[in-house]
Amino acid sequence: MSLRQSTHDPRVQALVLLVPALAIYAVFALYPMINVVILSFQKWNGLDPNRQFVGVANYTAIFTRDPVFWVAFRNTVIWTVMSLIFPPVVGLLLALSLNQKIFGRNGLRAIFYLPVIIAPIAVATMWKWMYDPFFGLFSQLLTSWGMQGWIKDWLGSKDIALYSVFVAYLWQTVGFSMVLFLAGLQNVPQTLVEAARIDGAGRWAVFKHVTLPALRPTITIVLVLSIISSLKAFDIVYGLTGGGPAQSTQMLALWAFTQAMQIFDFGRGAAISVVLLLITMAVVVPYLRWTQRHEEVEA
Partner 1 sequence: MLTLSAKLKTASIIAIAMASFAATPALAEDITLWTLNFDNNAGNEALKKAATDFEAANPGTHVEIVQRAVDEHKTALRVAAGSDKGPDIYFSWAGLGLGGEYVKAGLSLPLDKYYAEYKWDDELLPSAAAFADLYPGGKHGVPFTFKGEAVYYNKKLFEQAGIQEEPKTYDELLAAAEKLKAGGIPAFTFGGTVNWHVMRLMDVILETKCGAEKHDALKAMTLDWTKEPCAAESFAEFAKWTKDYTLQPFMGIDNKQSYSLFTAGRAAMMLEGDWLVSQMNGSGANLDDYGIFPFPTNTSRLYGFAEYNYISTKSKNPDIAAKFLDYFLSTKVQQDLLGQLSSTSVNENVQYTNQKPLEAEWLGIFQKYDKVYMNGDQAFPLDVTTEYFRVINEVASGGTEPTEAAKQLQNFIASRT
11 binds partner 1 (CB under 8 A): no
**Measuring CA to CA, which residue among 268, 272, 276 is closest to residue 43?**
268
Query: Among residues 10, 49, 55, 149, which is the contact residue for partner 1, using CB under 8 A?
Result: 49
HSE, side-chain direction, 13 A CA sphere, residue 185: 18
Amino acid at position 32, single letter: P
The residue among 235 and 265 lying less far from partner 1, judged by its C-beta, is 265
List the beta bridge partners of residue 42: 53
Nearer to partner 1, 164 or 226 (CB): 164
Cα–Cα distance measured from residue 52 to residue 143, given in angstroms and rounded to the nearest whole number: 58
What residues are paired with 52 via a beta bridge? Answer: 43
**Measured from the CB atom, is 184 or 267 closer to partner 1?**
267
> At its nearest, how many Å lie between partner 1 and the CB of residue 251?
15
Member of 59, 86, 131, 257 binding partner 1 (CB under 8 A): 131
Q: Is 68 in the site for partner 1 (CB under 8 A)?
A: yes
Interacting stretch for partner 1, rule CB under 8 A, among 4-12, 41-49, 102-110, 207-215? 41-49
Q: Which is nearer to partner 1, 72 or 94 (CB)?
A: 72
Q: How far is the CB of 5 from partner 1 (least distance, A)?
A: 30
DSSP calls for 203-214: HHHHIIIIIHHH
Q: Under 8 Å CB-to-CB from 25, ≥6 apart: which residues? A: none
Q: Say how far apart CA 100 and CA 185 lie, in whole Å.
A: 11
Binder among 264, 282, 286, 294 for partner 1 (CB under 8 A): 264
Does 122 help bind partner 1 (rule: CB under 8 A)? no
DSSP-derived secondary structure letter, 148: G
Q: What is the distance, to the nearest Å, from the Cα of residue 271 to the centroid of all Cα atoms in its chain?
A: 21
> Using the rule CB under 8 A, is 45 a contact of partner 1?
yes
| Residue from the set 133, 140, 185, 290 that interacts with partner 1 by CB under 8 A | 133
Answer for which of 84, 244, 280, 290 binds partner 1 (CB under 8 A) is: 244
Is position 74 an interface residue for partner 1 (rule: CB under 8 A)?
A: no
Give the residue from 84, 107, 109 showing the smallest Cα distance to 170.
Answer: 84
Contact predicate 43/267, CB 8 Å: yes
Site residues for partner 1 per CB under 8 A: 45-49, 57, 61, 65, 67-68, 131-135, 152-158, 161, 241-242, 244-247, 258, 261-265
